[in-house]
A and B are shown apart, each in its own frame.
Chain A
Amino acid sequence: MKLGHRIWSMPISYRAPVIVALLMVAVSAAISERVLDRLSRTQERFLDGLAETYLDGLSSAVIPAVLRGDVWEVFDALDRSATSYGALAPLETVVTGADGRVLAASDPGRISAYSELPAAYADRYGPGMVTIDEASESGFARRELVYQGLPIGTIHAAFDVSHLFAERREILLTLLVTNGVLAALFSLGGFLLVRRMTGPMRVLESHMRAAASGAAEPISPAEFPSRDREVASLFRGYNALVHAERERADLAMRLAEEEKVASLGRLASGMAHEINNPLGGLFNAIDTLKKHGTTPGVRDTSISLIERGLAGIRDVVEAALATYRPERSRRPLGLHDFEDVRLLLKPELRRKRQKLDWDVAWTDTGPTLPDGGPVRQALLNLLLNASAVTPEGGTLAFRAGHTDRLVTIEIEDQGPGMPREVLGILTEADPGPAVRAGHGLGLWMVRRTIDELGGTVKIAQKNDGGTMVTLILPLAREGASSHAA
């Protein structure tokens, strides 16, 4: 089990050859077992046949001599048979008479004529024709000599079967070497094949990793496999995904730009109002100056009017510039940012006859506060949204304050509540799906600003209807310069 786990945890280009090698080992073990089994049975059959022939020939040669108890004739037959049955390699042959005594042995020096046959000879036979003793690499066979139905003696024969074992060892060695070489070749082949097969996967993997780190590149046609249609189709699918993603990102960017332009338009028309309103008074004052400029009281009043009107126009223009060219005013968030936002929002509130509850408790404490530019743009966006969803004549609320560690800003509206997917843009960990669906691009820009500043957004439904959005922004730690610096 442990081995299995280890194998499964290997990379596939190693796992496949290891499995192939293990399979080969299993197959070769099974084959070797079968081959050796068949071989030993064939050998034993062959040996049985040889022994049978040997004993048949010897029986017919010795029976007359055994009947006469002719020691010499028996020995002569044994002696001659030793050379004529070379294939069998008889080690020792003993012929006994009816009384069980030895008539002659092929080696009389070991077992002499007329002696008792050693007891070991009687016990060494098994049920088959030839009994093989693996320890001594010898085979034993016995043949009763029968004449006219009566037993007249026995032939005890021992054969050298070491060549059978040598042949088995040789074949086993051949099998091991052959199968070992085959297993190694198959494993190497498997390794190369799997590497070749998983090559496209590695191409895909490297592209996906690159995409994850931001640079999604389509797979170049040169890397397409020429023959593997499945992989080619996979690559095409990946490339289609990359193209679609790029188009969507382009679209989102374009939409964001359009949204920006649209909100700019709204602001611009508001600003135009803001500028236009004093313009009427300014022209009246200029007419008054033309007609009654000589009158000192009138002239002073008119010039004062003109001055105030121009100052209002300048404020509006400055607020717009600060908001939409934040790089010009890279300053910590401060009271003037809130005032600018309020100024820019005013035309819209007036148009919809809405009221804004303003509650800002703020002290400008310096560079630990977040950057002012992005925040005021985000606040303007949120407030314009709140104004848009609140009915005419409704009330908005804006509250801002900070402690040593956090800036807290709350915006309330009287709208019907944010749809779930729009809400998600501000609060979900991944705002992607809602943005890709094309919703709330303004809010997405807010979200990006908050993320950049390391803040969070909370959205709550109010009891009287409407929504409260809470921005919580961290202050930089004491001593550290503003992260925007």
Chain B
Amino acid sequence: MDGAIHRRREGLTRREFTSGVAATALAAFSPAASGAQEDAFRFGLTPVFLTSDLELLGHLRAYLTARVGGPVELVTRRTYQEITALLVSGQVHSAWICGYPYVQFRDRLDLVATPSWHGKPLYQSYLIAAADRRAEGWENLRGDIHAFSDPDSNSGYLVTRTLLAENRMMPDQFFSRHFFTYGHRNVVRAVASRLAQSGSVDGYVWEVMKETEPDLVAQTRIVRRSEWLGFPPVAAPRSLSGDPRVARFKDALVSMAEHPDGRSVLGLLRLDGFVPTEPSLFDAIAAKVETVRRFG
């Protein structure tokens, strides 16, 4: 769950996107949507755990449209990298990104808000394996076919990569094979179906899926939980720091729990709300990046 918010001062006149039809979230890829680029507030979303949850996107867009004051365009891409690139290059006004890309581009991004889960803006990374597998610790996963979520994901890659680096190993040395599924939910699917014997997954996604897709999650079990790390934040390009829409967007996120539309979005996401946070929240992730860099 990564996000970021950009500030842009383009006009707010286009009204084509004001309707609450959820499907328009997909219209971000259509030519008409490109034409609206100058006018709409564009919010990038990394592959959300509920990749197919059009209901969530509909609610989110409706809420943000009302609060930001003007059309809001939700931009989704397949990989974290694509969203990060759009954000850093200022092509989206804001995006929900992962802590890993945030620390990589910390000098060019501003934090807008960070989701709060169980009262804190923190989450864990899990190493998971098949439910019937007897693996006491991460060391038992040696030789597995391993599913990572995304090479730009903290919980779905960096945490495990760092764990191995601390033990002087590369993933290729520890695992027999590994592949990327580009989605935390897909990691759970890959492990549940035994395409992969183990996987690195966002602990928050795993816990929420335990409620929403208990049958799927029940086929997996947690082998290792990481330490608590900064939750994937919403960030905006520093170049848009003066954009009033970004300020309104920040207000909208932080006060989300006070509005019915916002509460339904939070309900679907199983989050308490969004809180303003300091960049230091992500120092632990930055340390991991450093560890990996040093190990090579």
Q: Which of B169-191 contact A (CB under 8 A)?
A: 176-177, 179-182, 186, 189-190
- Cross-chain contact B193 with A109 (CB below 8 angstroms): yes
**Pairwise interchain contact B182-A72, C-beta atoms closer than 8 A:** yes
Q: Please indicate the chain B residues that have their CB under 8 angstroms from the CB of A107 in the complex.
A: 193
Q: Quick check: is A71 within 8 A (CB to CB) of the other chain?
A: yes
Number of interface residues of A (CB under 8 A): 13
Chain A residues near B182 (CB-CB < 8 A): 72
B275 lies within 8 A of chain A by Cβ:
no
A103 to chain B, nearest CB (A): 10
Interface contact A71-B193, CB-CB below 8 Å: no
Beta-carbon contact of B193 and A113 below 8 Å: no
- Cross-chain contact A113 with B145 (CB below 8 angstroms): yes
Contact A108 to B195, CB < 8 A, known contacts A72-B147, A75-B190:
yes
A112 at the interface (CB under 8 A from B): yes
Chain B residues within an 8 Å CB radius of A72? 147, 179-182, 186, 190, 195
Interfacial chain B residues near A71, Cβ < 8 Å: 177, 179, 195
Chain A residues closer than 8 Å to B181, beta-carbon distance: 72, 76
Most central of B180, B193, B196 by chain A CB within 10 Å: B193
- B189-204 contacts to A, CB under 8 A, are 189-190, 193-196
Tell me the smallest distance from the CB of B213 to a CB of chain A, in Å.
14
Interface assignment of A70: CB less than 8 Å from any CB of chain B: yes
Point out the residue from B176, B177, B180, B195 that lies within 8 Å of A75, measured CB to CB.
B195
Distance in angstroms from B156 CB to nearest chain A CB is: 12
* A112 adjacent to B186 (CB under 8 Å): no
- Check if A70 sits within 8 Å of B195, measured CB to CB: no
Give chain B interface residues in 30-55, CB to chain A under 8 Å. none
* Complex: A25 Cα to B190 Cα, angstroms: 58
**Chain B residues closer than 8 Å to A114, beta-carbon distance:** 145, 176-177
What A residues does B145 contact at CB under 8 A?
Answer: 112-114
Tell me, rounded to whole Å, the shortest Cβ–Cβ distance linking A71 to chain B.
Answer: 4
Asked if residues B177 and A113 are in contact (CB atoms below 8 Å), the reply is yes
Distance (whole angstroms) from the CB of B181 to the closest CB of chain A: 4
Is B193 a contact partner of A79 (Cβ separation < 8 A)? yes
Complex-state Cα separation, A27 to B265, whole angstroms:
71
A104 within 8 A of B: yes
A114 and B197 CA atoms in complex are apart in Å by 13
Q: How far is the CA of A108 from the CA of B199 in the complex (A)?
A: 15
Q: Which residues of chain B are within 8 angstroms of A109 by Cβ–Cβ distance? A: 193-194
Interface contact B193-A108, CB-CB below 8 Å: yes
Which chain B residues numbered 208 to 248 have a C-beta less than 8 Å away from chain A?
none
Smallest Cβ distance from A115 to chain B, in angstroms? 10
A150 to B283, CA, bound (A): 49
B145's nearest neighbour on chain A, judged by CB, is A113
> Mask for A106-131, Cβ within 8 A of B = 1, else 0?
01110011100000000000000000
How far, in angstroms, from A70 to B189 measured CA to CA in the complex? 15
CB distance from A108 to the nearest CB of B (A): 4
Are the CB atoms of A70 and B194 closer together than 8 Å? no
If A70-B179, A72-B180, A113-B145 touch, whether A108 touches B194 (CB-CB below 8 Å) is yes
Proximity bits, A78-115, B CB within 8 Å = 1, else 0: 01000000000000000000000000100111001110
Shortest Cβ gap from B197 to chain A (Å): 8
Bound form: Cα–Cα A108–B144 in Å? 13
Chain A CB within 10 Å, residue with most, of B145, B179, B182, B196: B179
Closest CB in chain A relative to B219 CB, distance in Å: 11
Q: Given known contacts A70-B179, A72-B179, is B147 in contact with A112 (CB within 8 Å)?
A: no
Docked Cα-Cα span, A70 to B177, in Å, equals 12
- Shortest Cβ distance from residue A446 to the other chain B in the assembled complex, whole angstroms: 118
Residues of chain A within 8 A of B194, CB atoms compared:
108-109, 112
Q: Which residues in A have their C-beta under 8 angstroms from that of B177? A: 71, 113-114
Interface residues of B in 138-156 (CB under 8 A from A): 145, 147
Across-interface contacts of B195 in A (CB, < 8 A): 71-72, 75, 104, 108, 112-113
Given A104-B195, A108-B194, A113-B195, A76:B186 Cβ within 8 A: yes
B179 contacts across to A, CB distance below 8 A: 70-72, 113
The answer for the CA separation of A89 and B181 in the assembled complex, in Å, is 26
Which residues of A in the span 34-82 have a Cβ within 8 Å of any Cβ on B? 70-72, 75-76, 79
Closest chain A residue to B147, Cβ basis? A72
Most central of B177, B186, B190 by chain A CB within 10 Å: B190
Within 8 A of B (CB), among A190-247: none
A109 to B182, CA, bound (A): 22
Question: From A70, which residue of chain B is reached at the shortest CB distance?
Answer: B179
CB distance from B145 to the nearest CB of A (A): 6
With the chains together, A108 CA to B190 CA distance in Å?
Answer: 9
Kindly list chain A residues whose C-beta atoms are within 8 Å of the C-beta of B196.
108, 113
A113 to B190 Cα, complex, angstroms: 11
A70, B147: Cα distance in complex, Å: 11
- Complex interface: chain B residues within 8 A of A75 (CB): 190, 193, 195
The residue on A at minimum CB distance from B148 is A72
**CB under 8 Å from chain B, chain A span 407-429:** none
A112 contact set on B, CB distance < 8 A: 145, 194-195
Closest to B179 in A: A71
CB contacts (< 8 Å) of A113 on chain B: these are: 145, 177, 179, 195-196
Q: Give the residues from 398 to 450 in chain A that come closer than 8 angstroms, CB to CB, to chain B.
A: none
User: For B190, what are the chain A residues with a Cβ–Cβ distance below 8 Å?
Assistant: 72, 75
The answer for the CA separation of A108 and B195 in the assembled complex, in Å, is 5
Complex Cα–Cα for A72 and B195 (A):
8
**Beta-carbon nearest neighbor of A69 in chain B:** B179
A120 vs B295: C-alpha distance when bound (angstroms): 45
Closest Cβ–Cβ distance, residue A395 to chain B (whole Å): 136
Q: Which chain A residue has the least Cβ–Cβ distance from B197? A: A112
The CA-CA distance from A222 to B189 in the complex, in Å, is 92
Which B residue sits closest to A110, measured CB to CB? Answer: B194
- Distance of A367 from chain B, by nearest CB (Å): 121
Residues of B within 8 A of A76 (CB): 181, 186, 189
A380 to chain B, nearest CB (A): 127
What 5 A-B pairs have minimum CB-CB distances, sorted nearest first?
A108-B195, A72-B181, A109-B194, A71-B179, A108-B194
Known: A72-B181, A108-B194, A112-B195. 7 other contacts (CB 8 A): A70-B179, A72-B147, A72-B182, A76-B181, A108-B195, A109-B193, A112-B145
Interface residues of B (CB under 8 A from A): 145, 147, 176-177, 179-182, 186, 189-190, 193-196
Provide a sorted-by-A list of 27 A–B residue pairs whose CB atoms are within 8 angstroms: A70-B180, A71-B179, A72-B179, A72-B180, A72-B181, A72-B182, A72-B186, A72-B190, A75-B193, A76-B181, A76-B186, A76-B189, A79-B189, A107-B193, A108-B193, A108-B194, A108-B196, A109-B193, A112-B194, A112-B195, A113-B145, A113-B177, A113-B195, A113-B196, A114-B145, A114-B176, A114-B177
